[in-house]
A and B are shown apart, each in its own frame.
Chain A
Amino acid sequence: MADFDRELDASGLNCPLPILRAKKTLADMESGQVLHIIATDPGSVKDFEAFAKQTGNELMSSGEEGGKFTFMMKKS
């Protein structure tokens, strides 16, 4: 059972594309909806924290599974 509304697979993309794609996807979502992001860029871990802090979207969780980084972001 998915506990998110949309998913973005940014695997293989490098800075700043994961952030830009996430921003674009969030723009099409409703406030309170959750976006699940998958990325392989190690820099995206700090970048999504910084993105959340500056945009007001909530980074609910982040993790790593088998070389992939995952994030749950709730649209503000």
Chain B
Amino acid sequence: MTEKKLAIIATKGTLDWAYPPFILASTASALGYDTEIFFTFYGLQLLKKDLTLQVSPLGNPGMPMPMPVPVVIQALPGMQNMMTMMMKKKMKSKGVASVEELRELCVEAEVRLVACQMTVDLFEFDTKEFIDGIEYGGAATFFEFAGESDICLYI
């Protein structure tokens, strides 16, 4: 079986959107794909050792809520923390892996994790806060791998 390649661009830094890149990359690796994730803009948050990802119902009318909550109430202080806690609790009760666990599985499976150098500089991220073993590169670095990929996803 010749090795297929999967290239993912992760652009979002919320708890919910942290899942698709790590689920797909870890699964692809289990299926024998050579996999790379390129983290850019808010996606860089997914590389921090200490993940403090949150979900927000604001601007997201599709988020299932246990009860209808008016938008102005959603914007109150503490609501985002509460929603995040509720989401994490629900995920745990349903046997959904944590983001940390899925990321660790990606690292174990040797998924290549590339941080966008330009956005690291733009937002003045401290690279010491990132997990070990990641690479840094730009658009051309991404295309070096993505240009030969069988599947390319923008998340």
**A residues neighboring B (CB under 8 Å):** 12-17, 19-20, 23, 40-41, 51, 54-56
Interface size on B, residues (CB 8 A): 12
Contact A17 B32 (CB under 8 A): no
> Does more than half of chain B's interface fall in helix, strand or loop, or is it mixed?
loop
Chain B 8-55 residues near chain A, CB threshold 8 A: 23, 26-27, 30-32
Chain B 95-121 residues near chain A, CB threshold 8 A: 95-97, 105
22 A-B pairs (CB sep. < 8 Å): A12-B95, A13-B95, A14-B94, A14-B95, A14-B96, A16-B23, A16-B26, A16-B97, A17-B95, A17-B97, A19-B27, A20-B26, A20-B27, A20-B30, A20-B105, A23-B30, A40-B95, A51-B31, A54-B31, A55-B30, A55-B32, A56-B1
**B residues neighboring A (CB under 8 Å):** 1, 23, 26-27, 30-32, 94-97, 105
